A and B are shown apart, each in its own frame.
Chain A
Amino acid sequence: QVQLVQSGSELKKPGASVKLSCKASGYSFTTSAINWVRQAPGQGLEWMGWINTNTGNPTYAQGFTGRFVFSLDTSVTTAYLQIGSLKTEDTAVYYCARGKGDGYNYDSWGQGTLVTVSS
């Protein structure tokens, strides 16, 4: 079955960087986009962007340019989200989600990775 397994929780200091992983299994990795969604504590969902797993081309939402980088390692069917120069407001759960079919709808989600940024 389709499964996305994300890396474990992270505790970082402001200014540090972090790289989260999203390991996909149960389907052909390069046939479905990977989207990233952020959820701050007690808040709603925020779409960060997506990466084309066939070409590696990323698309970032406004507010997620510069410090945020989507990448892939297709040899291990894994997508990555790297966040640089962490700020306290980056504290959130980060989800990866597979875009089904044409990529618009997210039919399988990782369990989420909690990133806590605190001095």
Chain B
Amino acid sequence: DFVVTQSPDSLAVSLGERATINCKSSQSVLYSSNNKNYLSWYQQKPGQPPKLLIYWASTRESGVPDRFSGSGSETDFTLTISSLQAEDVAVYYCHQYFTTPRTFGQGTKVEIK
């Protein structure tokens, strides 16, 4: 199976500061025929279902604040929150859909310092 590994497992960032989460897949998720990376990011707040933030590695879902951005290609990806807000406290998951079974990273917990 594809394995996706996130780092760090948790991080604490001051309000207004940048938060960076990394995701590494065991194999490339770049599909050469359409040049798309089959990777997305989800945010899950306590007691809530996950919410789609980013897909195709860098496309922001409608309604998602522009402080959230995704980057990377092939095996290495990053989710950046440019200016952390209190409402961003959550667990963030990357998700590869290049192949079945689709797999999630283990999650990164973001807290306020």
Q: Number of residue pairs across A and B with beta carbons under 8 Å?
A: 52
Q: Which residue of A lies closest to B44 (CB)?
A: A45
A100 and B62 alpha carbons, distance in the complex (Å): 12
Interface size class for chain A?
20 to 34
Chain B residues near A76 (CB, 8 Å)?
A: none
Least CB distance, B23 to chain A, in whole angstroms: 13
Is the pair A62, B40 in contact by a Cβ cutoff of 8 Å?
Answer: no
Query: Is A107 located at the chain interface by the 8 A CB criterion?
Result: yes
Q: Could you say which of B97, B101, B104 contacts A45, with CB atoms under 8 Å apart?
A: B104
Q: For the complex, what is the distance from the CA of A104 to the CA of B97, rounded to whole Å?
A: 6
A-B contact pairs, 5 of them (CB 8 A): A44-B107, A62-B101, A97-B49, A104-B40, A105-B55
Interface positions of A (Cβ within 8 A of B): 37, 44-47, 49, 59, 61-62, 95, 97, 100, 104-107, 109-112
